Structure 1
Amino acid sequence: MTLVPPPRYSGRPVAVIGNGPVGQTTALLLARWGIPVVLLDARSKRDAIGSKAICQQRDVLDIWSAVGAQQIADDGLTWTTARTFYRDHVLSQWSFVDRVHSPLPPFVNVSQCRTEQVLDEQIRRQSLIEVRWGHDVVALDQFDDEVLLTCASADGEVRFRAPYAVAAAGARGDRIREMLSVSFGGQSFDDRFLICDIRSDLPGWESERRFYFDPDWNPGRQVLIHPCPDSIFRIDWQVPADFDLESEVADGRLDSRIRAITGDRPYEIVWKSVYQFHARCVDRMRVGRVLLAGDCAHLVAPFGARGLNSGIADAENAAWKLAFVLRGWSPDELLDSYDAERLAAARENLEVTSATMRFLVPRDQRERARRARLLADAMTDPDAQVQVDSGRFAEPYWYIASPLTTLHPDRRFTGRPLRGEPAAAVPGVLVPDAPVAVAGRPAVTRLRQLVRDGLLLLTTDGVDTARVTAAVTAVTDAPTSVLRLSDIDPGGGLVAALNARPGEMWLIRPDGHIAAVLTTGDLDHLPLAIRRSIGEVLPVPHRHP
């Protein structure tokens, strides 16, 4: 059963500030819901150099696939193994676990430039998105029913009125944060990181990420090497705070750094830069009618690829909730859950990446000595090996404490899963993506292609689907599908991944997170779980600007 959505939205466009990957994705997802967007960027055109954010996680590739950008996954280089060294000794290696055989790779490496190109191609095909380059937001005023954005442009002052705005202005969005009166507390790390994209032939390195602690060719510090498409390798060297790139190039030390890795093989430098890393987060991600997203809201060190991957999750969380509010399917209070969910995710990322940075950049001699002992012990001691922190990779956050989640006493979240493992399917967790077959929809081959159509209810044997359908239609006008697992999961892979039992109903949100698991005995509670999942009950306190 699929309910038909109401007529097309006819209100003003949503304003998205920032035309980087997070802003692009937000705009495309809103347009997918039929919501028009004006996409503003202070730059005159797109930056076209450097790999920047390269490491994209499976669930982010899935989001991009939903807006027609499958090409990002196709163009990316798939890697499966993470190998960690102490000097030249392998301390550990591990690979990602996929229990349901998703057609999407666990991670791909692809330059941010290419990602932006593919997203731009989709935006050009989308009539609901208007792109305005060279529009610098210099004032932002909020009223009861709209946001007024004043932009400086080559044609003079331009104003836009929008029902809501998403601020995805990036790490340099200081002015936007100041306009919204949000803090951006945290710390900056003294050590710098030299980043080079080189094109070279390094046989055997094409499908693994390598992390070196204290190699002879960068003593006392770290080196990270990622393979990328077109025989490009991204190399990150930890360097001192007073590092001078120009002098290293001039006196040949940069060539020596690279030669320590490539040997006598020819190489070409495609891009180089020096970065300082930060760990910062705003104190709130909703300010009235403005939602903050991506680096504009949180900055984390890159070890673990939690920056852009988390920003894209911000984009999807914001887009479906804005669409439900603007379409009249949910009250404005639903947007408070954006703040609750994504701020919790940002703080989780800060905790994980800050712990990594403390290990990579010890703060004093005592910490340096402790790390040296641990690395030496890890060469022979498995217990010491698991304490070596070279970065825990990006993973979807779990909305266990969300006001939208209905918890289940027999399906409890047990904490962070093991490295590379997915979390067990429980309320709050992103549903696993598994092959499905839906009658009359041959293009749908996996579960995640269904969830973004609205609310999804999956039922197991023993559930009266007619009663479930009646309960849904009585509660919400939002587009909702009710499907039997036995009808769409002929191979049983999805049932196994969910550990689904007879007599259960699984309520899935439009971003794929499990909102509730109920049994036939709880059927009377289904309307409440649905209303909770779309923000109609138990709202968190509203925050005004």
Structure 2
Amino acid sequence: MSSAPAPPAAWPVEPVLVLGAGPVGQTTALLLARWGVPSIVLDQRPRRDDVGSKAICQQRDVLDVWEAVGVGRRIADEGVTWRTARTFHRGTELFAVELAEPGRPAFPPFVNISQTRTELLLDERIAAEPLVDLRWGHRVTALDQDGTGVTVTCADGPRVRGSYLVLCSGARSDELRHQLGVRFEGHSFDDRFLICDIRTDMPGWATERRFYFDPDWNRGRQVLIHPCPDSTFRIDWQVPPDYDLDDEAASGALDARIRQVIGERGYEIVWKSVYRFHSRLADRMRRGRVLIAGDAAHLVSPFGARGLNSGVGDAENAAWKIAYAGRGWAPDALLDTYHDERHAAARENIAVTTATMDFLVPPDGERARYRADVLARAAADPAARALVDSGRLAEPFWYVDSPLTTADARRPFGGRPPRGQAPPAGPGVLVPDAPVRGAGCPPRASRFRELARDGFLLLATPEADLDAARAAATAAPGPVRVLALGAIDASGALAAALDARPAEVWVLRPDAHVAAVLADPTGDDVRAALARAAARSTTTRAEEDRHGVLPASR
């Protein structure tokens, strides 16, 4: 477990309001507490509703975020680990993606566990955290903000005030978005999807995700199967727009549908539901002192597990920036970069998931013929196989175009990597993890990302001017740690994961993303990169020319 950063004892303004006690709101509040920031979490429900599996795929880097607040390992240990994603067309396996593991990560690529259980584990951490005040039964109907804070009005009359507000109250936040002047445009897909959580014994299926195009038992449509804890399998069937679950259950057709997948073995339906997919995005994710996160800001189809996982990315981005702006370590402009970075991440997710849905449910005849041709050829043709889209799995977004990132001509971003792969370490990319030990490590820290989430981090490779880095750190507001790579990387695993080169200083943000990689920098160079990474200034064209910095490009 990562130790918390050590901010000043007192938060100088009012608590932060968090609307919504789902995983995004819970994560936001716990991360704020890690920065010494008190929060009040308001949820309209009377209590936690323990119903259904909901979002089940928790991505490795999200588990890392949860471990920073003390619960990632428990979630991972209770969940089902899988590393392989198999895709089939009818009875033929087309390909299997083995998910990459850059560096030596602490967690597996994906862990399947119900959102319901994840929420309960996060609730346990909240109950033990005095800086989080969770209040059920508070339906917010109005919000007003001024230059120093945000006041919300609840349906039963109470008014609650905070310094900032993170709106993560889910997709049905229409009225609050309207009050903020935020549009939530996009579209909904006509086809429906049946979901069943089924407890049964399925030997050989417990450690992999399976996706079927046009199987005999759902001709013309798709089926997705995920393993879950307690011998449970999550099965999603694409069904017609007029599908009626009650009629199918009453007629026995649902039992027949399930047995087409699992055979004659015994089973129990733990939960079932029918849903439609949506693709929507808020036009602004910051309005004054309000940041919009999770499903309140963006909706995507679940193929690829990009919903909850991207919401946790929102939470981490929002939490450290609110902490820095509220403590005066960074200007208010840092909060603008929340929109810059997370809106770009949401656009990426929508582009990826829309392409998947267009392949799964072709919107016109031309694309239907294209899909049929690709699937027919894919069993024997590797080129066609690469065109099959059964969902590109969730991955951290790359902040290469962020105003906080100092790009590096020596480490250009190569664009979206092949599915299952991660981009090389470099500016804008989440830093790979690796074990660390040595005199330079704080007590209890055993992994690099534990060090990288305590504030800004300056990592100096051999031959770099360590004194210049220390001087720059001393001059910067807020926590900045300086470490020599050789002092913490006895095995060389971290240097290999970074492709570290002599005389470099790596500047890491409080969310473990690389802000800059500086070659043989002076103290002024490091100060400039730190200032840019906290929105205190931007790199000048003269500095860019001197260091060969190019505009970031995706």
Residue 8 of structure 1 and its aligned partner are, at CA, apart by: 2.6
Contact 1:448 1:512 in 2 (8 A): yes
Residue type matched to 1:124 in 2?
Answer: A
Q: 2:487 is matched with which residue?
A: 487
Q: Distance in 2 between matches of 1:507 and 1:93?
A: 36
1:224–1:240 Cα change, 3 Å? same
Contact 2:7 2:36 in 1 (8 A): no
1:264-295 CA distances to partner (integer Å, 9 max, x unpaired)?
A: 10000000000100000000100111000000
Q: Distance in 2 between matches of 1:4 and 1:170?
A: 32
Aligned length: 534
Residue 523 of structure 1 and its aligned partner are, at CA, apart by: 4.0
1:454-494 CA distances to partner (integer Å, 9 max, x unpaired)?
A: 100000111221221112212x1211110000000001011
SS of residue in 2 equivalent to 1:217 = helix
Residue 369 of structure 1 and its aligned partner are, at CA, apart by: 2.2
Contact 2:5 2:454 in 1 (8 A): no
Q: Distance in 1 between matches of 2:6 and 2:444?
A: 19
Q: 1:65 is matched with which residue?
A: 67
1:49-106 CA distances to partner (integer Å, 9 max, x unpaired)?
A: 1110000100000000010112111111000110000001000101111132212111
| TM-score normalised according to structure 1 size | 0.96
Residue type matched to 1:473 in 2?
Answer: T
Residue 434 of structure 1 and its aligned partner are, at CA, apart by: 0.9
Q: How does 1:113-132 map to 2 (within 5 A)?
A: 113-132=116-135
Q: 1:543 is matched with which residue?
A: none
1:397-425 CA distances to partner (integer Å, 9 max, x unpaired)?
A: 00011010011111110101111111111
Q: 1:421 is matched with which residue?
A: 421
Q: 1:500 is matched with which residue?
A: 500
Residue type matched to 1:63 in 2?
Answer: V
Q: 1:412 is matched with which residue?
A: 412
Contact 1:437 1:488 in 2 (8 A): yes
Residue 519 of structure 1 and its aligned partner are, at CA, apart by: 1.9
Contact 1:5 1:477 in 2 (8 A): no
1:27 and 2:33 correspond: no
Q: How does 1:198-209 map to 2 (within 5 A)?
A: 198-209=198-209
Q: 1:280 is matched with which residue?
A: 280
1:9-32 CA distances to partner (integer Å, 9 max, x unpaired)?
A: 142110000000000000000011
Residue type matched to 1:200 in 2?
Answer: T
1:32–1:340 Cα change, 3 Å? same
Q: 1:510 is matched with which residue?
A: 510
Residue 522 of structure 1 and its aligned partner are, at CA, apart by: 4.6
Contact 1:3 1:481 in 2 (8 A): no
Q: Distance in 2 between matches of 1:438 and 1:482?
A: 14
Q: 1:459 is matched with which residue?
A: 460
Q: Distance in 1 between matches of 2:30 and 2:102?
A: 30
Residue type matched to 1:29 in 2?
Answer: L
Q: 2:140 aligns with which of 137, 161, 180?
A: 137
Residue type matched to 1:77 in 2?
Answer: V
Q: Distance in 2 between matches of 1:466 and 1:317?
A: 30
Q: Distance in 2 between matches of 1:12 and 1:396?
A: 31
Residue type matched to 2:458 in 1?
Answer: L
Contact 1:438 1:444 in 2 (8 A): no
Q: 1:99 aligns with which of 99, 102, 105?
A: 102
Residue type matched to 2:428 in 1?
Answer: G
| TM-score normalised according to structure 2 size | 0.95
Q: 1:316 is matched with which residue?
A: 316
Q: 2:92 is matched with which residue?
A: 89
Residue type matched to 1:22 in 2?
Answer: V
1:188-247 CA distances to partner (integer Å, 9 max, x unpaired)?
A: 000000000000001000001000000010000000000001000000000011000000
Residue 7 of structure 1 and its aligned partner are, at CA, apart by: 3.6
Q: Distance in 2 between matches of 1:222 and 1:436?
A: 44
SS of residue in 2 equivalent to 1:157 = coil
Residue 442 of structure 1 and its aligned partner are, at CA, apart by: 4.2
Q: How does 1:253-332 map to 2 (within 5 A)?
A: 253-332=253-332
Q: Distance in 2 between matches of 1:526 and 1:117?
A: 43
Q: 1:53 is matched with which residue?
A: 55
SS of residue in 2 equivalent to 1:52 = coil
Residue type matched to 1:479 in 2?
Answer: P
- Of stretches 199-208 and 363-372 in structure 1, the one that deviates more from structure 2 is 363-372
Contact 1:169 1:176 in 2 (8 A): no
Q: 1:336 is matched with which residue?
A: 336
Q: Distance in 2 between matches of 1:141 and 1:6?
A: 29
Q: Distance in 2 between matches of 1:396 and 1:96?
A: 14
Contact 1:109 1:227 in 2 (8 A): yes
Q: Distance in 1 between matches of 2:177 and 2:263?
A: 46
Q: Distance in 2 between matches of 1:52 and 1:535?
A: 37
Contact 2:12 2:327 in 1 (8 A): no
Contact 2:33 2:131 in 1 (8 A): yes
1:45–1:7 Cα change, 3 Å? closer
SS of residue in 2 equivalent to 1:24 = helix
Q: 1:16 is matched with which residue?
A: 18
Q: 1:542 is matched with which residue?
A: none
Q: How does 1:75-224 map to 2 (within 5 A)?
A: 75-152=78-155, 156-224=156-224
Q: 2:544 is matched with which residue?
A: none
SS of residue in 1 equivalent to 2:271 = strand
Residue 438 of structure 1 and its aligned partner are, at CA, apart by: 4.3
Residue 364 of structure 1 and its aligned partner are, at CA, apart by: 2.3
SS of residue in 2 equivalent to 1:179 = helix
Residue 4 of structure 1 and its aligned partner are, at CA, apart by: 6.5
SS of residue in 2 equivalent to 1:429 = coil
Residue type matched to 1:383 in 2?
Answer: A
Contact 2:7 2:35 in 1 (8 A): no
Residue type matched to 2:96 in 1?
Answer: Q
Residue type matched to 2:420 in 1?
Answer: G
Q: Distance in 1 between matches of 2:290 and 2:6?
A: 30
- Calculate percent identity across the aligned residue pairs: 59
1:469 and 2:477 correspond: no
Q: Distance in 1 between matches of 2:364 and 2:88?
A: 23
Residue type matched to 2:42 in 1?
Answer: L
Residue type matched to 2:77 in 1?
Answer: D
Q: Distance in 1 between matches of 2:341 and 2:5?
A: 28
SS of residue in 2 equivalent to 1:210 = strand
Unaligned runs of 5+ in 2: 540-554
Residue type matched to 1:139 in 2?
Answer: A
Q: Distance in 1 between matches of 2:524 and 2:106?
A: 37
Q: Distance in 1 between matches of 2:143 and 2:443?
A: 46
